Structure 1
Amino acid sequence: MKKSANTSQKIVIKIGASLLTGGQTAIVPENLERLVRLIAGCYGDGRKVILVTSGAVASGLAVLGFKKRPTVLAELQAAAAAGQNILMQAYASEFAKHGLKCAQILVTREDFHDRQRYLNARSTINTLLHHGVIPVINENDAISTEEIKFGDNDTLSARVAAAVEADGLLILSDIDGLFGSFDAKSGTGKDLLTEVAAITPDIERLACGTDKIGCVGGMSTKIAAARIATNAGVPVLLANGLKSFLKIAFSSSQGHDGTLFSVGACIGSKKHWIGFEAEVKGRIVVDDGAKTALITGGRSLLAPGVKGVEGDFRAGHVVDICDIKGLCFARGKVNFSSSELNEVKQKKAKKEVVHRDDLAILD
């Protein structure tokens, strides 16, 4: 089939628990059928789809007899363990009706912190796509303590989109997009923003939370996810997954539903990993001259600009780079351990501490 000019070849679709369960404690079959039809339609248009789904905890609540989302961590993890199998069986059954196959990938934040595991995950996802299989990704809630506070997998979907260098990220919610004003009590919004060119403090203030059984996060996590993805060069469309027909496009010149977060200045895949994924092991404080050289001059960080070293790190670790006021404006992979760097700094040698190719400037 000839691909449409409006088609992005590789897209990530994120489905939240509220879409699957209607805010209750079990998957609503009609909701799942509609969402799988949408994904099948994307395949029919020539797109390759990676699915990031929530719903494991919500699917497991009824199994354990919970009528509302528990707050005890062990109970949340037990619900996730019980619900993940239910969730995957439901997806596999629905995809089969459209002649599609799917495969489960469970990840933790540590899989994104470690560079080799990060690359392995990307390779597995791309291999599945090559063989016509839909990767269905969820965080391993049953063992990951940090994820259950994460925000309904919004951030995970952005990280996946950045890792695979997707052509677009579609975040499906139960509202039409980002509104200029929103009444949380009535659940209604006014003045839909069709495009957001930059995520400013004013845009962040428009965020509002959710309060539904089985769900975490809200608009604030979606905006945070959009920031991560767009910084990596991936446009983000936030749209209503309850609609029976959805116009999906990742360019302002094409018609689309929802709110499109456009790509501005972006960094490469390696620098994105350094800036957003790698575990930070320490901190380097630099003077104003070094800060200017890094931000505006595109220079490497040299030892004479280093004023302080904090933490215990090794060569190859990622550290925060901060100014003398304590503002962290960059992250980089260091060429020296913390003890070695202290020695180099005292000798005032013009050694390269962080190469510019291993440096990510933060917003």
Structure 2
Amino acid sequence: MNSQQTIVIKIGTSSLTQAETGQLALSTIAALVETLTQLRQCGHRVVLVSSGAVGVGCGRLNLKERPKKIALKQAIAAVGQGRLIRVYDDLFSTLGQPIAQVLLTRRELIERTCYVNVYNTFDALLELGVIPIVNENDTVAIEELKFGDNDTLSALVASLIKADWLFILTDVDRLYSADPRFVPDAKPIILVNKAEFAQLQVQAGDKGSQWGTGGMMTKLAAARIATSAGVRTVITHGKYPHNLFKILQGENIGTQFEPQPKSDNARKRWIAYGLLPTGKLYLDSGAVRAICQGGKSLLAAGITKIEGQFEATEAVQLCDGNGKEIARGIVNYNREEIDKIKGHRSDEIAQLLGYEGVETVIHRDNLVVSNG
């Protein structure tokens, strides 16, 4: 185990609460706090992404099920978040470990200046030896800019801070080829590399527990984001936090996903993982080759079809003829302008638009090729 690593741990509502009542599972939380404090004492930089605010709020207000209406859910999150952070603070304080509360919305990662500020805040907290406890700011997040679940949030945080590990703690010990509760001969999945990820066939439900939001599909999506950013990802059981040490020491516990090579280009990481694409550009095979193999900019001539409504400087996905995403980037033109110039040479742009424009639709400095 390396002397100092940056580790993000995400724990879900299903691990934090009792299934029957939604009340906090204090023994699990105490074991988690003890483990994270020990990791800090070993010199690691530790971030906890914790679900549970809505679940705890429901328990506090004696509600029997998670609310559906956004306004009600946001109000309940406000009730639960204070209680949740109080529990964490009491337990961490007993062990002398300082913590900080960090509440994020997707907006903070979309705006470049905010993204850099969030990175700097995490960096300062970790240098101070603090454990940041992160959750989505459910009280103010609007539906279009929600992370959707804390699995995604944890992967984006791991990417942002250039973590070495992401541990997704859930209510199963690892990934299986089918649900082991119903299929006795379901095969455990120990290690997934890049080549296997695309072929990974897992019967993963899209719903979490009664009190949570993330099913196994969201965990796989999070693993894809994190490993693409160079973060080794592990799905393992939340009831046994002490296993984190064993995994770091090389034991085969949980399901591990091998990371891609890390990128040191902070701007490109932001484009790949911070921005929310608002449209799609479909490319011919020549443009796909030029971008994926030649590291070239995207020219109008290579665009065959457009989807979505977007403005200049917004992010879009670039797809091949089969609809597979091959890259994403920031466009120099809006949807209407690209519609006029697609399929044409760059020296025709001024004539087609009626004014002088740049020759690239997406410059290579604002373009990130997908790993998947």
Determine if the TM-score, normalized by the shorter chain, exceeds 0.5. Answer: yes
- 2:340 & 2:145 partners in 1: Cα distance? 42
Q: 2:151 is matched with which residue: 149, 154, 178?
A: 154
Q: 2:90 is matched with which residue: 78, 89, 93?
A: 93
Give the partner amino acid of 2:228: N
Q: After the TM superposition, which of the residue ranges 151-160 and 83-92 deviates more from structure 2?
A: 151-160
Are the counterparts in 2 of residues 8 and 168 from structure 1 also a CA contact under 8 Å?
Answer: no
Are the counterparts in 2 of residues 53 and 136 from structure 1 also a CA contact under 8 Å?
Answer: yes
Alignment of 1:12 onto 2:29? no
Give the partner amino acid of 2:289: T
Give the partner amino acid of 2:10: K
Alignment of 1:74 onto 2:82? no
TM-superposed CA distance for 1:15, in Å, is 1.0
SS of alignment partner, residue 105 of structure 1: strand
Give the partner amino acid of 2:360: E
SS of alignment partner, residue 160 of structure 1: helix
- 2:234 & 2:165 partners in 1: Cα distance? 8
Q: 1:358 is matched with which residue: 339, 351, 366?
A: 366
- 1:270 & 1:31 partners in 2: Cα distance? 38
TM-superposed CA distance for 1:321, in Å, is 2.3
- 2:104 & 2:11 partners in 1: Cα distance? 16
Which residue of structure 2 aligns with residue 40 of structure 1?
37
Q: 1:22 is matched with which residue: 18, 38, 42?
A: 18
TM-superposed CA distance for 1:217, in Å, is 1.6
Which residue of structure 1 aligns with residue 107 of structure 2?
110
Which residue of structure 1 aligns with residue 124 of structure 2?
127
Which residue of structure 2 aligns with residue 233 of structure 1?
230
Q: Identity over aligned residues, as a percent?
A: 38
TM-superposed CA distance for 1:343, in Å, is 6.4
SS of alignment partner, residue 179 of structure 2: strand
Alignment of 1:317 onto 2:325? no
Q: CA 1:144/1:204 → structure 2, altered by over 3 Å: closer, same or farther?
A: farther
Q: After the TM superposition, which of the residue ranges 95-104 and 333-342 deviates more from structure 2?
A: 333-342
SS of alignment partner, residue 178 of structure 2: strand
TM-superposed CA distance for 1:64, in Å, is 2.3
Q: CA 1:312/1:78 → structure 2, altered by over 3 Å: closer, same or farther?
A: closer
Which residue of structure 2 aligns with residue 216 of structure 1?
213
Give the partner amino acid of 1:176: D
Are the counterparts in 2 of residues 304 and 348 from structure 1 also a CA contact under 8 Å?
Answer: yes
Are the counterparts in 1 of residues 136 and 147 from structure 2 also a CA contact under 8 Å?
Answer: no
Are the counterparts in 1 of residues 315 and 328 from structure 2 also a CA contact under 8 Å?
Answer: yes
- 2:329 & 2:78 partners in 1: Cα distance? 37
Q: Please list, as runs of the form range in 1=range in 2, the aligned pairs for 1:327-342 lying within 5 A after superposition.
A: 327-338=324-335, 341=338
- 2:158 & 2:226 partners in 1: Cα distance? 7
Give the partner amino acid of 2:363: H
- 1:208 & 1:347 partners in 2: Cα distance? 45
Alignment of 1:257 onto 2:257? no
- Aligned pair count reads 357
Gaps of 5+ in 2: 348-358
Give the partner amino acid of 1:133: V
Are the counterparts in 2 of residues 180 and 189 from structure 1 also a CA contact under 8 Å?
Answer: no
Give the partner amino acid of 1:12: V
- 1:126 & 1:117 partners in 2: Cα distance? 14
Instruction: Flag the structure with higher strand content.
Output: 1
Give the partner amino acid of 2:190: T
- 1:282 & 1:148 partners in 2: Cα distance? 15
Q: After the TM superposition, which of the residue ranges 35-44 and 273-282 deviates more from structure 2?
A: 273-282
Are the counterparts in 1 of residues 247 and 253 from structure 2 also a CA contact under 8 Å?
Answer: no
Are the counterparts in 1 of residues 162 and 231 from structure 2 also a CA contact under 8 Å?
Answer: yes
Which residue of structure 2 aligns with residue 192 of structure 1?
188
Runs of 4+ in 1 over 6 A off after TM superposition: none
Are the counterparts in 2 of residues 230 and 262 from structure 1 also a CA contact under 8 Å?
Answer: yes
Q: Given the two structures, how large is their TM-score scaled by the length of structure 1?
A: 0.87
Q: CA 1:249/1:292 → structure 2, altered by over 3 Å: closer, same or farther?
A: farther
TM-superposed CA distance for 1:293, in Å, is 1.1
- 1:31 & 1:148 partners in 2: Cα distance? 31
TM-superposed CA distance for 1:138, in Å, is 0.2
TM-superposed CA distance for 1:328, in Å, is 4.0
